[in-house]
Structure 1
Amino acid sequence: MKFERDDAPNRNELGWWLFATALALVLLTSLDTYLGWSVFGVFLYYVARPIARRLQHRGVPPGVAAVVTLTVIVLPFIALLGAIAVIAFGQLSTVRVADVERLVRTLFPGFDFRAIPTTPERLSDSVMELLRNPSIRSFLFRIRGFVGTFATQSYNLFLTLIFVFFLVRDERNIADWFHRTVADEETRTGEYLHAVDRGLNSVFFGYTLTIFVIIVLSAVIYNLLNLVAPPGMAIPQTMLVAIATGLATIVPLVGRSIVYFAVVLFLAVVALETDPIRLWFPLLFLAVMEIVFDNVVRTYIRPSLSGRLFPTSLIMFAYLLGPPVFGWYGIFLGPFVMVVTVQFLWVVFPGLLGRNTVETDDSEAENGNDSNDSITT
């Protein structure tokens, strides 16, 4: 392994390093508003990169490959994410207090509803109490600027797509410049950044894409099952249940089964309260999801998409803690921080302690042959 120069910098070099540090701080401060969109752009880059590279290997110029990938893959993918968000919010807005009460009474008999404002008077009092909250007033003030916010975020999305385009088109030039100027591939820095790149590809193209695919497929299956459901036995809020199914994929061992059994329990109680013969529908739901759908996920979807570089527990905490800590873009920034940290502990930290870095087989890791670290649900 090669290492960078370790001689002490002279006074002129120290001055340039101080200038570089100040310049970096200015850039970070100025671009702080675009942090979320930048991380989203990095995610889209790792989604688009495998397709663009395949096109380039077939002789397609990098610029054309980038345009085709963004047009055929990235833009429809973003549209699909937007459709999922719109449908989910639409279903969430249609949830009534009576629906929540029925669901809770079905799943948790004997629950005390006195704390829930089920009458118009109590609901009005609760709303007025919320409106007196300064944070709620601030939120309502922001709602009035919805049009301006929508225009701003559309512009940010446009900048993100341009960012992804140049990353996909010029990735080889950027890598070559970095290896010539900053650190060779065989240096510790080059090895660390290569490990981070493999980790981000594993997480973003693997786990995140797996979650989205499961959300889409499960939503389709839930709506198809509702077509044959007995009256009053339809799966409620199918898109919200589908999102819960996809997110539950990162929970080890039990995973999606938690969502399945919650739906089955709800449908079974409804069937027993109306007509026990209707129990065939929750049994059909369980058979389709646990036997057919989960086998498809384990046999085809997960091996094709899921990266296997990291323990499932790390992935789970990265996705679950990301949004509460960072906001909406935490679902992308959380895994990013996890990859950067874990690869530092694996690649660089042992060398700082005077120990040998643990070598990994890049081809084996990229092909997902490490069976110990795969998604287990």
Structure 2
Amino acid sequence: MRSDGFDQRRLAIGAIVAALFAIVAYVAISFVAVIVFAVFLYYAVRPIYRTLERFDLPRRVRALLALVLFGIPFLVLLAYTIGIIALETQAFIETYDVQDQVLEQALEEFDLTGIDLDELTTVVSEAVSQASLGLLFVSMTGAISVIGATVVQLLIVVVLTYYMLIDGPRFVGWLLENYDESGVLKTYVDAVDPELSMTLFGNIVNVFITAIVGVITFYTYNAFAPAAVAVPFPALLGALAGLGSLIPVVGIKLVYVPLTVLLAVNAWLTGDLSLLIPVGVLFAVSGVVVDFIPDFFIRAHISGEQTHTGLLLVAYIVGPIVFGFYGLFLAPILLILVINAVFVFVPYVITGEPPDARQSRLPEYSDDSGSVIEDSDEYEPVVATDE
């Protein structure tokens, strides 16, 4: 009887815990875009946070400095760039009378914070067209509520990132110490952490850097180039160049090479061959500044090659289609979690023994020359105490 009552109490407590976890999961799903972007920002600012450790600064000060020096400016610049790209995309649709439902849906999915673009457009239109002060007040109230919701979500991103920086390693270490007797979870965490760091801080940051450089390059070119050979929709093309950087070597060329060819054809049709000079300058500058420097310098310093490039490319393409814009971050995270689960959890489930650290991994197979590729990048274990 005592055993039965004890088991019943355990079952009741387990049900309560399961209910609490279900509520937490529901809240997390409701804010999945915010959480995913916070994870990305965490891995983006963590190298700066760790670099500041050499100055013997407290954890909280280092976290604040990392966010102020990189995190918050990056968020502001990202929001500004997305706003420009959204406006130019809308102008492109209106100019060429694009009514494709797929493109319109893509624009809706592009929204980072879940803002209702139609509602925002209606609010602004009413604010401009209505003469009534009452209607103007109602419209402005609606606009303020939309902007306020965006600010709140950005604030949540910053707060989550801050506490992941100062308490994340200790929290993970506590979980592993208390609930990982076999050591298999630690093996999994130690495998996933550097992969996420290199993927999110490497490839994704490279996308945004390339896109920002492309936007600046095209706008600067338009400031000096004749109107006949000006770059149409420079922000949109700069963003496409950033996305093209996901395809190694040829990705960015798929943007600026056709662009300069079209501008050269336009210059030829005008009969003024002198217009070919600025087009040639644009081609040379794009090849060096937009293509060569980000792809061969930035990618080499902040990207890793442990996760298969082809699988990452598929994740980048499928992610936004399935999840929306934040799928650009979520799909690579899921890919890394699944791949490392195959290497760590599956052998443990089958054999009952923790996987050997020397177990073969996908990048270790031979390249075209037959030589074996081995990954030897060192990283700081996520469970290390950060005092």
Alignment TM class, shorter chain as reference:
0.7 to 0.9
2:251 matches 1:258: no
Q: 1:273 aligns with which of 269, 280, 295?
A: 269
Q: Deviations over 1:43-98 (max 9, x none)?
A: 1111111111111232110011011111111110101101101221232343375x
Distance in 1 of aligned mates of 2:10 and 2:202: 42
Partner of 1:325: 322
Give 1:253 shift: 4.4
Matched ranges for 1:88-99 at <5 A: 88-95=85-92, 97=94, 99=95
Q: 2: distance between equivalents of 1:50 and 1:139?
A: 35
Asked if 1:235 is matched to 2:235, the reply is no
DSSP-derived class of the 1:308 partner? coil
Q: How many residues align?
A: 323
Q: Indicate if the aligned counterparts of 1:308 and 1:365 stay in contact, CA closer than 8 A.
A: no
Partner of residue 3, structure 1: none
1:364 and 2:376 aligned = yes
Contact 2:306 2:375 in 1 (8 A): no
Q: Are 1:74 and 2:71 counterparts? A: yes
Are residues 1:38 and 2:35 paired? yes
Q: Is the 8 A contact 1:196 1:343 kept in 2?
A: yes
Answer yes or no: is the 8 Å Cα contact 1:309–1:365 preserved in 2: no
Equivalent residues of 1:223, 1:238 under 8 A apart: yes
Contact 2:253–2:291 (Cα < 8 Å) also in 1: no
Output the CA distance in 2 between the equivalents of 1:23 and 1:288: 56
Q: Where in structure 2 are the equivalents of 1:157-306 lying within 5 Å?
A: 157-183=154-180, 187-275=183-271, 277=273, 278-291=275-288, 293-306=290-303
- Deviations 1:131-174, CA, capped at 9 Å, x for gaps: xxxxxxx9745754443222122112212211111111113321
Rate the CA distance shift 1:303–1:13 in 2: closer, same or farther, 3 A.
farther
Aligned to 2:229, the other structure's residue is in SS state coil
- The alignment status of 1:344 with 2:344, answered yes or no, reads no
Residues 288 and 28 (structure 1), Cα distance of their counterparts in 2 relative to 1, 3 Å cut: same
Mapped contact 2:228–2:267 kept (Cα < 8 A)? no
Secondary structure class of the residue paired with 1:251: coil
2:331 maps to amino acid: G
Task: Tell whether the 8 Å contact from 2:209 to 2:294 is kept in structure 1 after alignment.
Answer: no
Q: CA RMSD in A?
A: 2.9
* Structure 1, unaligned runs of 5 or more: 1-9, 102-115, 118-137, 368-377
Classify 1:173/1:139 alpha carbon distance in 2 versus 1 (closer, same or farther; 3 Å): closer
Give % identity: 25
Normalization by structure 2: what TM-score?
0.75
